[in-house]
Amino acid sequence: MVYDLSVIDFEDFFEHSPEQDAGTSIQSFYLLLVPTYNIDTLLDNFLDLLKETHNDFRIDTAPLSDIAGYSVFGFGDREGWPTEAEGFCSQAIEVDKWMAKLTARKRAYPLGMGDVRSDVLPRFGEWRDGILKVLEDLATNGNLGEGAPGSGEALESDEEDSVESTLVNPKSRSKRQQSRVDDLEDIGGKSGQSVSLAIDFTTTAQQGPKAMVPTTSPTYTALTKQGYTIIGSHSGVKICRWTKSALRGRGSCYKYSFYGIASHLCMETTPSLSCSNKCVFCWRHGTNPVGTTWRWQIDPPEMIIDGAKQGHYKKIKMMRGVPGVRAERFQEAMRIRHCALSLVGEPIFYPHINEFVALLHREHISSFLVCNAQHPDQLAALQPVTQLYVSIDASNAESLRKIDRPLHRDYWQRFQRCLDIIREKRFRMRTVFRLTLVKGFNIDEEVEGYADLVARGLPCFVEIKGVTYCGTSTSASAGLSMQNVPFYHEIQTFVEALNEALERRGLEYGIAAEHAHSCCALIASRRFFVEGKWHTLIGYEKFFACLESGQEFSPEDYMGDPTPEWATWGKGGFDPRDERVDRKGRVIETDG
């Protein structure tokens, strides 16, 4: 049924759900198409009615809670109002917000918005296609499925589900943030939450291969409580806070500024939840299993990838009811384009890692693999990936022992062998040293040592990132506290000092990009400085074309477009097309 808001009696549809014939099982599903005007229209009365209905103490605050769902599409004009903050589709945004309150969080699909002068037809087409899929799910399951926690309480708060980094401005930290800070890339969990300690299987007698993470184990309970979907017996998938942020138009992680990876198109997973280190800054609070050799049953790569995609898409679908999620980005997110093998554990530890990566590439999903430089044999056997990371957490053996707490006794020899392997691979794939800086552990007087490591491995890129304190007993027992967290100005000073140290050694590197929001900066080889511009972005289709050609190729063969001006050193690295907000959903003013 199609109704004109200028004709109907609002009370018949919004103070209670439409009456149905007795004995029918039909449920109402509301689709609201809303223009936005800068003059007085009946929409003002409509919005007043929605607000008054929700706040009327004589009736239920959610009188439409028994409908099947709703979704809103807004028509706007960017010529007069370029952005949402300046009024683009503002009345549609308000309708969407109040409908969430009146329906008790029955937003079935994110708010769609289109510019009547340019992109309204494709945007409306995407929204329509998404609605059809939701209706198919409703017909099959009878409900909207599982929703994201906190995705539309009556308050309709625009708070991020995670605390965003405030290390750029030390004065902006609150007492609440000082009590607990997580990794800048994926912040989650709760202060004071009790967690299980790491299970060290290296000293446990095993009678034949067993599951690495049995469903009945404390490890399984701890990881699922942190938001993981456990796949099979040893793998996991999870969406990070940057995926949620990108879906809401609030910015992607540093990988977008540096390499062109939009966070809402990226799946974060690992085929091995086990690791051979017990790093003091571990994101997972010491809940993942550890070991020096693979002693568990092995799941096939096909099963892991299928389970990872299924788990990822399920978590994306849970976001469709979250306030502020953009319909076009939600639609885009339903096709994975990138895979970050960096979730937890050691991906290269998985015995079939090459087959796993090949399956990703077959679906034109790029691969970003992170290893901890403790498995040189597996690293040497690794086939080309889109980008290969090695964690460089210290510049000398003593610092590495304190901060990574490796299980291998010959950890430093393994570490150095991995650097040599990275040097050999630098002309076959993009290689990256990732430095995680921890004050009191691996910053003071270690610049020269890091420069020596770069000279040994000659990576294509060097990422420098500040650590944040997880606030767990595991970290505290290792001597880590908030005092060990560097501010961004300290990261900047270190980056400039490291760049100068590389220049003194005659190495051709330069500071290419930054993402201040993540306390992260990028030093790049001059191989990627072409015609006066940095080209740190990746040409993904070029990569797959090179891979499928069967011929040898180098990182230069899939070099992408120039690094965006806003991402270069000194510009902050936040995409101006997105909107940065604070924890209360208020827009943060940025320079320029």
Mean pLDDT by 10 residues, the chain (592 residues): 88 81 76 90 89 80 89 92 86 93 91 94 94 89 64 32 36 39 38 40 55 88 86 92 90 94 95 86 65 90 96 92 90 95 87 96 96 93 96 89 87 95 96 89 83 97 82 52 81 95 96 93 97 96 96 96 95 86 61 47
Distance (Å, whole) CA 437 – CA 497: 14
pLDDT at residue number 190: 39
Domains observed in the chain: 10-141 (3.40.50.360), 174-551 (3.20.20.70)
pLDDT at residue number 287: 62
pLDDT at residue number 303: 97
Find the farthest-apart pair of alpha carbons in the chain and give their distance in angstroms, rounded. 84
Distance (Å, whole) CA 52 – CA 552: 67
Distance (Å, whole) CA 299 – CA 439: 40
β-pairing, 69-76 vs 112-115, is: parallel
pLDDT at residue number 282: 73
pLDDT at residue number 171: 42
Location of structure tokens 């769609």: 112
pLDDT at residue number 177: 38
pLDDT at residue number 185: 39
pLDDT at residue number 264: 95
Distance (Å, whole) CA 518 – CA 434: 14
Asked if 498 and 510 count as a contact pair (C-beta separation under 8 A), the reply is no
Kindly list the distances between the CA atom of residue 474 and the CA atoms of 278, 371, 403, in Å, as whole numbers in the listed order.
Answer: 9, 22, 12
Kindly list the distances between the CA atom of residue 392 and the CA atoms of 73, 170, 271, 558, in Å, as whole numbers in the listed order.
Answer: 48, 26, 22, 25
pLDDT at residue number 158: 34
Location of structure tokens 């009590």: 179
Chain-centroid distance of CA 369 in Å reads: 15
Distance (Å, whole) CA 161 – CA 152: 12
> Is the dihedral angle over the CA atoms 253, 257, 259, 261 positive or is it negative?
positive
Angle at 389 between CA 385 and CA 391, to 5 degrees: 155
pLDDT at residue number 583: 56
Query: How many C-beta atoms surround the C-beta of residue 324 within 10 A?
Result: 22
Distance (Å, whole) CA 105 – CA 356: 39
Asked if 449 and 392 count as a contact pair (C-beta separation under 8 A), the reply is no
Location of structure tokens 């309480």: 153
